[in-house]
Amino acid sequence: MLHLGFPYAILFFVYKGNKKTGPIPAVLRKSPDKANILSVPGERTMKLEWMGRHRSLVEAHIKSANRYAQRYHVRWFRFEDVSLSSAQIQVMEYILEVEHSNMSELAERLGITRSALTKHVQALESFALVEKEHPKENAKSYTLRVTEKGLRAYQAYSEEIQTRLFAPIFSALDEMSDEDLERLQRVYDLINR
């Protein structure tokens, strides 16, 4: 059985015979006729023609997804006395966009479980970046709000990430027509369904 690991793995594995033998690493390479070839040590090679002319785009997407997955929980952004991960910053960003968000809405929008979101919110609360607001009529339910310190942290983050990452991306996207941007958005919507 061939596992292509799409979209989060670029290393391919082929399982032989039984599960005790484990995975055998496979090598993806281009043949002289530019076809994608999957080589497994001691086995035949397999042309990956099903990707056609889209192979380099698929590979770029996989590489991007892998890089993001590796960094998602790493606390790389420093603000005052705290270090934040991309996951935590993303939670703050979504709370800022929809003030008084509830946990279910946020988890759905972020594409994570409620328990994962709860861990991020607890960390953000401990840093005094986010706070819960309980309505008077129901002490068990609550909405989330970014604090003043959280607003300052997000402002510092957005300035840094704009310069470090998004400025060249936005510049390239600005060269595209509105129709091309809509098509690109549809592709991402299909990837994320």
Query: Domains plus CATH for the chain?
Result: 2-53 (no CATH), 72-191 (1.10.10.10)
pLDDT at 174: 92
Angle of CA points 140, 144, 147, to nearest 5°: 130
| C-alpha span between 92 and 126 (Å, rounded) | 13
pLDDT tens sequence across 21-62: 454 444 555 555 555 555 555 555 556 677 778 777 877 777
Residue 86 has pLDDT above 80, yes or no: yes
Residue 88 has pLDDT above 80, yes or no: yes
pLDDT tens sequence across 133-143: 877 777 677 78
pTM for the predicted model, two decimal places: 0.61
